[in-house]
Structure 1
Amino acid sequence: MSHPWQPQPPQYGQQPQYGQPPQQPGYGYPGPGPNMAPYPPQQPMPHGYPYAPGFPPPGGAQPGRAFFLGLIISMGLGLAYAGILFAAHEDLSRVGLQVSYLACAAVLAVVVGVVTGRTGGREAGPAVWAAVLAALGAYLGVANGYVFTLLDIGGTDLLETMLDNEPMAPHKFWWKRVDAGFALAGLAVAMVGAFAVNRAVSKKQPH
């Protein structure tokens, strides 16, 4: 049931009722007058949300964000693996170290590749960053695990003495204790895997 006492909003292209002036959008922007066409409809975005013409829709490729997310994830997983080595160093055999290192490299490849592929777009740059960051995380995981273990065994005095006499001790531990072949294999797994995963994921993202 209609209520004639309620004022109705004026329609574009008609004179206002009850002597009221036509509604204006405000902020100094001229709205359509009595003899002007209504505002053109807004263009919908791919997901159905309107956006102003001349501005790109939200989302899309963000290479900078992909790099920083990949870096954070790489460092975080590397530190987590170092913590595992620190907690298990008394019981972990050399074979166990090698297997866990390769597993860490594979996990880094998948996680870093997926995250950078979803945010970095289809360019080759984010895929290269993903490969480098995944390999860096695997390497630092072993090196930091060695440092954490030295701190647990002899405290800061042992660590300082070791690093004063052999500054490259963490690197040599990675190269010799893991074994050169396994050390390089882990880097290859991390780099090739992260690159491939990134490219596969990025191709499925919208332009």
Structure 2
Amino acid sequence: MQPPGFHPYQPGFPPPPRRGGGVKAFLFGWLISGFGATLFAGLLVASYDDLSKIGLRVMYVVFALALALAVGSVAGKTGGPNPATYVAPALLAMAATFLGTANGYVFVLLDAGGTDILEAMLEHEPGAPAEFWWKGLKGGIALLGLAVAGGGVFAVGNLVGKRQRQG
């Protein structure tokens, strides 16, 4: 029982600040990651005629870094200072770096040869998009992109979340 006239927040004092929401960080991370993966696949289709293997690798790492900055800043802003809220957005960004490249490969096949080539590829080698991601990016670069995306989201989210708490 509370004493008469007791209020959890006395007049003149603001309520404590909200801590942030992991659900918001997840949803916005999912939206930005999906948009980023689609955008990267579209860039691959638009530039596959002029893109060298080194250009592809550089573009992949730059994409992973840009995605980490975008997803990390939104996750830090919506998730607050709690580092546990950056885990799911980091995993989503890692998945988006992989899916952007693999889907870009599929879109390039569709653009270059139509549905017949895509159907033949999927019938005989259904794992070809993932194989392109691994072999086309030379394994180490593929893993570097995943590390940049995941670690970058966590680092940027942590910085933005701490600044939000201070400011």
TM range (shorter): 0.7 to 0.9
Which one of the candidate residues 141, 153, 158 is aligned to 1:182? 141
Q: What is the distance in 2 between the residues matched to 1:96 and 1:106? A: 15
Deviation at 1:127, TM superposition (A): 1.6
Q: What is the distance in 1 between the residues matched to 2:30 and 2:21? A: 14
Q: From the CA coordinates, give the structure whose radius of gyration is larger.
A: 1
SS in 1 for 2:126: coil
Cα offsets for 1:30-86 (capped at 9, x unmatched): xxxxxxxxxxx854537xxxxxxxxx77x6411101101001001101110110000
Structure ranking higher in helix proportion: 2
Amino acid at match of 1:163: L
Q: Tell me, which stretches of 5 or more residues in structure 1 are unaligned?
A: 1-40, 47-55
Establish whether residue 119 from structure 1 lines up as the match of residue 88 from structure 2. Answer: no
Cα offsets for 1:107-129 (capped at 9, x unmatched): 01111000000001222222212
Structure 1 partner of 2:64: 105
Establish whether residue 191 from structure 1 lines up as the match of residue 147 from structure 2. Answer: no
SS in 1 for 2:165: coil
Amino acid at match of 2:51: L
Structure 2 partner of 1:12: none
SS in 2 for 1:203: helix
Identity %: 48
Establish whether residue 134 from structure 1 lines up as the match of residue 93 from structure 2. Answer: yes
Amino acid at match of 2:102: A
Task: Could you list the structure 1 runs, at least 4 aligned residues long, displaced by more than 6 angstroms after superposition.
Answer: none
Q: Tell me, which stretches of 5 or more residues in structure 2 are unaligned?
A: 1-9
Deviation at 1:95, TM superposition (A): 0.3
Cα offsets for 1:117-172 (capped at 9, x unmatched): 00012222222122211111111111111010011112122111101111111000
Q: Normalization by structure 2: what TM-score?
A: 0.87
Deviation at 1:206, TM superposition (A): 3.2
Q: Normalization by structure 1: what TM-score?
A: 0.71
Q: What is the distance in 2 between the residues matched to 1:133 and 1:197? A: 15
